[in-house]
A = this chain, B = another copy of it.
Amino acid sequence: MERALREIGAARYHDKHPFHILMREGRLTEGQLQAWALNRYYYQSRVPLKDAALMARMVDPALRRVWSRRVLDHDGKAEGEGGLARWLLLCERLGLAREDVVAERGILPATRFAVDAYIDFVRSRSLLEAIASSLTELFSPGIMRERLGTMLAQYDVIDEQALSYFTVRLDQAPADADFALDYVKRHATTPDLRQAVCDALLFKTDVLWAQADALQHAYVEPGLPPPGAFRPEA
């Protein structure tokens, strides 16, 4: 099953998406990066809700204890700490107004639909499928490392502090992914369950890909932001 999961990542993780290829090659404009950071904020802001929804289904305190670290990693122990605060810092460095981002102004409807579908999946599917849907983190260190290099080199407004979200996640994501992978390997004890695990990961790659599609359509090609969506300054 692990091989099947890794094949799904190799074929369908969003590092293959044209929008992320442009980012990796340093070919996005600052306006396009702003649109990415703003929309990704919506995803980031909902990840702890997704993890809390998962915890709300875990009857085993030991499992909740492990999973609660994810919420803590995002929220931090105090105001201004945690992954979400670090993402807001990146948004500000890219020139977005913090209050606009937090108010979720101008976020693409397609971003909301994809992210909300992810939360709904975690709430309504089996605990095994819900945990399996987090397995995209198996593939995230690669894309994060590439972004770090490119963004530091290509964009004057970005320094190492602005990218602290990624440097910290590079520490956290592998441990999170290893735990989830170990969990699904131990609990997917029949062919049907193993298929359900793979389907959950496929679903999650769709969630990420749909967000990249929406950014590409609105801000790159053809570049037609829908009514009410963020528009970069010319």
Contacts and interface: CB of A to CB of B under 8 A. Distances in A.
Given A52-B52, A52-B53, A68 B59 contact: no
Interface of A: 45, 48-50, 52-53, 55-59, 61-62, 64-65, 68, 71-72, 74-79, 82, 84-85, 123
Q: Please state the number of chain copies in the assembly.
A: 2
A45 B62 contact: no
Given A45-B59, A52-B64, A61-B82, 8 more contacts: A52-B52, A53-B53, A55-B56, A56-B56, A56-B123, A61-B84, A64-B75, A68-B72
A52 B122 CA distance: 13
Nearest to A51: B56
Nearest to A67: B52
Contact of A68 (B58, B61, B68): B68
Contacts of A55: 48-49, 52, 55-56, 71
Given A55-B71, A56-B56, A65 B49 contact: no
A48 B76 contact: no
A176 B77 CA distance: 18
A55 B50 CA distance: 10
A68 B75 contact: yes
